[in-house]
Amino acid sequence: MINRLSILILVSLIALSVWGNDPIMVWVEFTDKENSHYSLSRPHEFLSERAIERRQKQNIPLDLYDLPVSPVYLQTLSADTSIVVYYASKWLNGGLLKVRHAEALLQLDNYEFISYLEDVKPKPPLPEDKKLEEINGSQALDDLSFDPGLFFEGFPYSLLHTHSNYPDYGDAETQVKLVNGQELHTRGYWGHDKVIAVLDAGYRAADTLNGFNTLWEQNRILGYRDFVDPDGDIFNSHPHGTYVLSVMGGHLPGRYTGASLGASFWLLRTEDASSEFRIEEYNWLAGAEFADSVGADIINSSLGYTRFDDPAQNYEYSDLDGQTTIVARAANKAFSRGILVVSSAGNYGGQSWRYIGSPADAHGSLAVGGTNNQGQRVNFSSVGPSADGRVKPEIMAQAQGVAVLNLMGTTGNANGTSFSAPLVAGMAACLWQKFPEATNEQVRNAILRSADRYMMPDSLYGYGIPDFGKAILILGGQYRDDWPVAVILNNPLLPDSGIRFFAEGKETVSIDLINSSGQKMWTLNNIEVFSGYNEVRPFSNIEILASGIYIVRINFKNRAELIKAIKL
């Protein structure tokens, strides 16, 4: 049961606010998934064939989180004329409700299957003349500078290559070449058979612009859904998603070619550009679950959440630990289902709040920061690390002067990590097409390992700019580097000496320090590590050790790595 006092306080606050008798958007969570006819033995009732195949390919078992919310609970709520059920979440076992008036909230206390309630949109939207013109930070969409040149009719993908078999990228050439994406394209990999779900603010005119003719003619816009307004028209909404989609799937012959022209797309509206409340995190959650259920391989999220129109909903930096925010939890769950989640890092780098947003902080997100066309970081690109000390952003791609398709039917330039993320997501689809048996984690690791600062990541560039030509070799087992699996930074040992080591995936390790006689001096247990290089600094009390040679042993689940350390 919900604490009645909490509801009464909530209702009182609402009654004193400007809501009056306007509808209230409420998130509720349920006690269990009882009274349901769904079963894990019949997954086709709630997952598409593609979603099931993705799990099977990656040896991911079905579990309780895959089961839909109890239909009995939803039907019970829907029978109440004061309640409209917008959508449900199987991952968080809850649902978004529109309660028609404040007094109706009291009725929710009568449902024993509701365990939690949150008012997720506590203020009305901003007036029309104050609608936000920005997504994911300070880079406003009207900063886009467009070339009003001619536009061209689309033509089939099979004609994309010139007689020299080299892609004609047009205005998109620089951004693709910065990540060496042409190494995949010239081999014929454009993301065919891969599905990308785009979670964004709207797709104005994406159904009529010539730059998307190829996608529509080849039936590679698989569908669309509006989680902000179920009765809305995503093609008459905000254009941000249109620009994002163009980076991946746009095509104007001789003028513009997107990074993954062969991929298929789901267009999902989860962001309400007119206001900023936590309801959009739940929209994102619903969009990610939908992407999972229809079998998407990749999610591109050029969105980020840290600050809201209601300051009481704001996150602190300490919340960006990869598992606290709603969208981070959703991104982690999507990744655990075999989906590659690519997120823009954010555009806060030049502000007082300069950190990454969420879901970029998520353990399951590949966070993409931004550079100029020369590979130099731009000052608006948000910085890390995550609150729990992980490398964020992980990689970088062009975010300043990115070529996109505009609403006039030609091309223009856009600023923001909103546009570096889809470039990486699109190229990841091409890489995954070449290696269809790879897992999402293997694709992610290959992209990280290919980056130009992989051995020396930091909080500004992460692991650096990926090289998709090198990623081909890495996934193909043909790339041999001289990077050590483990190394001691500052050896002979000092109090601030660190141990840097590579982990294939998320796991828990221990570290032993052993003297020359084979005696174990100390052990550090339960160290959580993540894919890529990790670093610990365990030598703060090094002065108590006698001079000599020691062995540092890192104990992974399936192996151990040994490093020689010297104490002077």
Per-residue confidence (pLDDT) for residue 8, from 0 to 100: 42
Per-residue confidence (pLDDT) for residue 52, from 0 to 100: 97
Per-residue confidence (pLDDT) for residue 330, from 0 to 100: 98
**Residue 468 pLDDT greater than 70, yes or no:** yes
Q: Please indicate whether residue 162 or residue 13 has the higher confidence score (pLDDT).
A: 13
Q: Please indicate whether residue 253 or residue 541 has the higher confidence score (pLDDT).
A: 253
Q: Measured between alpha carbons, how far is 255 from 501 in angstroms, rounded to an integer?
A: 45
Q: Which of these ranges, 128-137, 230-239, 509-518, has the smallest mean pLDDT?
A: 128-137
In this prediction, what percent of the chain has a pLDDT beyond 70?
88
In the chain, what is the greatest distance between 2 CA atoms, to the nearest angstrom? Answer: 78
Separation in Å, CA 304 to CA 70, 200, 270, 278: 30, 10, 12, 11
Average pLDDT, integer, range 85-93: 96
- The number of C-alpha atoms within 13 Å of 268 and in the hemisphere containing its C-beta is 28
Task: Give per-residue pLDDT as tens, 328-366.
Answer: 999 999 999 999 999 999 999 999 889 999 999 999 999
Q: Strand, coil or helix: what is 109?
A: helix
**Residue 310 pLDDT greater than 60, yes or no:** yes
Per-residue confidence (pLDDT) for residue 64, from 0 to 100: 95
DSSP assignment string, 377-395? BPTTS-B---TTS---S-E
**Residue 164 pLDDT greater than 90, yes or no:** no
Per-residue confidence (pLDDT) for residue 23, from 0 to 100: 80
Average pLDDT, integer, range 442-455: 93
Per-residue confidence (pLDDT) for residue 275, from 0 to 100: 87
Separation in Å, CA 477 to CA 138, 442, 446, 485: 41, 12, 10, 16
- The number of C-alpha atoms within 13 Å of 158 and in the hemisphere containing its C-beta is 2
* Placement of tokens 């104490």 in the chain: 567
Q: Measured between alpha carbons, how far is 334 from 363 in angstroms, rounded to an integer?
A: 11
Average pLDDT, integer, range 141-157: 29
Per-residue confidence (pLDDT) for residue 240, from 0 to 100: 97
Q: Measured between alpha carbons, how far is 418 from 364 in angstroms, rounded to an integer?
A: 18
* Ordered structural domains, the chain, with CATH: 4-119 (no CATH), 128-136+153-475 (3.40.50.200), 486-567 (2.60.40.3080)
Q: Measured between alpha carbons, how far is 121 from 501 in angstroms, rounded to an integer?
A: 44
**Residue 145 pLDDT greater than 90, yes or no:** no
In this prediction, what percent of the chain has a pLDDT beyond 90?
67
Per-residue confidence (pLDDT) for residue 152, from 0 to 100: 23
State the helix-helix crossing angle for 279-293 and 326-336, rounded to 10 degrees: 10
Listed in sequence order, the DSSP H helices in 253-309 are 279-293
State the helix-helix crossing angle for 440-450 and 417-434, rounded to 10 degrees: 120
**Residue 528 pLDDT greater than 70, yes or no:** yes
**Residue 483 pLDDT greater than 70, yes or no:** no
DSSP assignment string, 340-366? EEEEE--B-TTSSS-B--BTTTSTTEE
**Cβ-count burial 393-428 (b if 16+ within 10 Å, e if not):** bbbbbbbbbbbbbbbebbbbbbbbbbbbbbbbbbbb
What the block records as the tokens of 361 is 């902080």
Per-residue confidence (pLDDT) for residue 70, from 0 to 100: 95
Q: Measured between alpha carbons, how far is 8 from 313 in angstroms, rounded to an integer?
A: 20
Separation in Å, CA 303 to CA 134, 258, 548: 10, 20, 52
**Residue 1 pLDDT greater than 70, yes or no:** no
Res. 159 pLDDT band, cuts 50 70 90: very low
What the block records as the tokens of 375 is 């590979």
**Residue 420 pLDDT greater than 60, yes or no:** yes
Q: Where are the beta strands (DSSP E) in 162-259?
A: 195-200, 221-226, 251-252, 256-257
Per-residue confidence (pLDDT) for residue 150, from 0 to 100: 24
User: Is-contact 474 485, C-beta < 8 A?
Assistant: no
Per-residue confidence (pLDDT) for residue 6, from 0 to 100: 52
| Residues contacting 9, CB < 8 A, separation 6+ | none
Separation in Å, CA 17 to CA 20, 107, 109, 130, 491: 7, 20, 21, 20, 62
Whether the model clears a pTM of 0.85, i.e. scores above it, the answer is no
Listed in sequence order, the DSSP H helices in 229-347 are 240-249, 279-293, 326-336
Task: Give per-residue pLDDT as tens, 38-60.
Answer: 999 999 999 999 999 999 999 99
Per-residue confidence (pLDDT) for residue 506, from 0 to 100: 82
Query: What is the pLDDT of the chain when averaged over all its residues?
Result: 87
**Residue 534 pLDDT greater than 70, yes or no:** yes
Q: Measured between alpha carbons, how far is 457 from 463 in angstroms, rounded to an integer?
A: 5
DSSP class of 514 = E
**Residue 472 pLDDT greater than 80, yes or no:** yes
